[in-house]
């Protein structure tokens, strides 16, 4: 279902204009209004899902094919050296728009490595084991 008060629903369904690079029955892929790099795209499902945990299995299955298609096209069109796929869920993870979206971010040699990065920490084998078991139990 689409939500009238959701900006990405309105963009995905063509009620608000966007730089659309690809569209099919289920998705619209647009250029991010405030790109992190040249060609930064967002894959938007036309149905409303708040985040990954709400995304239907059918959409989830089709999503990666769209990511691959537009990622390859951007790599060719813009001579990108790499592509990051980024997908934020929840405020703590940096999600600012509560309509599922996947970022497809072309990367170029020498660009800002901090854009998609984290600080690696040392890990404790015992704690890692506890974490492994805790996650396994929920599956």
Contact positions vs Zn ion (CB under 5 A)? 3, 6, 8-9, 48, 99
Catalytic residue among 40, 48, 99, 101: 101
Q: How far apart are CB 45 and Zn ion at their closest, in Å? A: 8
- Residue 46: CB minimum distance to Zn ion, A: 9
101 as an active site residue: the answer is yes
Measured distance CA(75)–CA(130) in Å, rounded: 40
Is the CB of 90 or the CB of 130 nearer to ligand AMP? Answer: 90
Nearest to 28 by CA among 11, 15, 6: 11
> How far apart are the C-alpha atoms of 29 and 19, rounded to whole Å?
8
The DSSP 8-state label assigned to residue 29 in this structure reads E
CA 12 to CA 101: how far, in whole Å?
A: 10
- Out of ligand AMP, Zn ion, none, what residue 32 binds, judged by CB under 5 to 8 A for its kind, is ligand AMP
In the bound state, the residue with its beta carbon closest to ligand AMP is: 33
Active site residues: 101
């Amino acid at each position: 279902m689409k939500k009238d008060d959701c900006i990405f629903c309105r963009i995905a369904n063509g009620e608000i204009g966007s730089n659309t690079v690809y569209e099919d029955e289920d998705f619209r892929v647009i250029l991010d209004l405030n790109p992190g790099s040249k060609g930064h795209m967002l894959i938007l499902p036309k149905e409303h899902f708040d985040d990954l945990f709400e995304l239907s299995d059918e959409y989830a299955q089709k999503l990666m094919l769209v990511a691959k298609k537009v990622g390859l096209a951007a790599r060719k069109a813009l001579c990108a050296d790499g592509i990051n796929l980024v997908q934020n869920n929840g405020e703590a993870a940096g999600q600012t728009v509560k309509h599922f979206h996947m970022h497809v971010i072309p990367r170029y040699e020498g660009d800002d490595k901090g854009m998609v990065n984290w600080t690696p920490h040392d890990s404790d084998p015992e704690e890692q084991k506890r974490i492994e078991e805790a996650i396994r139990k929920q599956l």
